[in-house]
Amino acid sequence: MSNLDFSHKYKITGADDEINNLGKSINTMSDKLEKTIKQLRRTNIELEKDIEEKSKIDEMRKSFITDVSHELKTPIALIQGYSEGLLENVNTDEESKQFYAEVILDETNKMDKLVKQLLELMKLEYGKREFEDKEFNIVELEKEVVRKSQVIIEEKQVEVKFQTLEEINVFADGFYIEQVISNYITNAMKHVKEVNGEKYVKIENIVDVENNKVRVKVFNTGDNIAEENIARIWNRFYKIDESRNRKEGGTGIGLSFVKAIMSNYDNSYGVINKENGVQFYFELDLKI
């Protein structure tokens, strides 16, 4: 009992004496102590979880405030500058005033988009988002994302190749997987360049029946990613080309979304430099 082991009990006899009564009392006390200590242990475990949860929430809050404060500096400065210009009538013609107003609206929309994306990213990174997994055809989802990207495809004059057209059913949350595919394709469109007379984006699916996985690959012709940047591109707000990222309206957290979503699924993701371009990939579980 001194070692908190209550498995051994006093063997009750039929005798009506002090020793037997004492033994009964010790057994009763032992049972109560065992129940109390088990309850204390359960309470302690729950308390530790609560403390850990509070620590995570506090860390998430601090990280969110830090990131938002840092990333909103530029749009706030632009809004302030153009607003002051309008108030002080820097430009009196209607065309200039319209341009100033459009810049203010554009930067406001960017701030709104950034805050919403960052909140969602935080929830994913800290395990606060529940997935609604179900069966769906990953090839059809890829086609739908490409269809939605048709404007930029035509603008960039890029050929999109599908290496796999047959049905491949996976088990995941289609909403979040669409974000992964969309981020990869958008990223490919931003960086695609003509190489040896070819300029294209290729989507390929490799099925691994033995491990019950499918690897989705999105390749674009163009420049390789410098080795020192390969690990950094998955960090939130990391931008290889600051000027182009801002020009094209990116928030710099697209690949962070991919990392967070794939980490929740405990599936592989990454990027590989190829001879004539770059290939991003991620894996999903096949529908059994």
Percent pLDDT > 70 in the chain is 77
CB distance 264 to 257 below 8 Å: no
220-265 confidence digits (pLDDT tens): 999 999 998 998 898 877 766 544 444 555 556 789 889 999 999 9
Across residues 22-31, what is the average pLDDT?
71
Q: Which of 14-18, 128-132, 171-175 is the most confident on average?
A: 171-175
Residue-level pLDDT at 220: 96
> Which amino acid makes up residue 180?
V
CATH of domain 134-285: 3.30.565.10
Residues 6+ apart with CB under 8 A from 135: 169, 170, 171, 287
CB distance 123 to 257 below 8 Å: no
pLDDT for 88 beyond 60: yes
Residue-level pLDDT at 244: 44
pLDDT for 16 beyond 80: no
142-179 confidence digits (pLDDT tens): 999 999 999 889 989 999 999 878 899 999 999 999 99
**Stated pTM of the model:** 0.67
More confident residue, 151 or 66: 151
Q: Which of 6-15, 191-200, 253-262 is the most confident on average?
A: 191-200
- Which two structure tokens, joined as six digits, stand for 182? 């969309």
Residue-level pLDDT at 248: 52
Residue-level pLDDT at 53: 66
pLDDT for 276 beyond 80: yes
Residue-level pLDDT at 63: 66
Residue-level pLDDT at 243: 44
Across residues 114-120, what is the average pLDDT?
76
Residue-level pLDDT at 159: 93
Q: Give the span between the Cα atoms of 218 and 3, in whole angstroms.
A: 60
Across residues 266-287, what is the average pLDDT?
95
Taking alpha carbons only, the member of 4, 10, 14 closest to residue 24 is: 10
For Cα atoms 281, 159, 106, give the angle at the middle one, nearest 5 degrees.
80
CB distance 180 to 238 below 8 Å: no
Q: How confident is the model at residue 205 (pLDDT cuts 50, 70, 90)?
A: very high
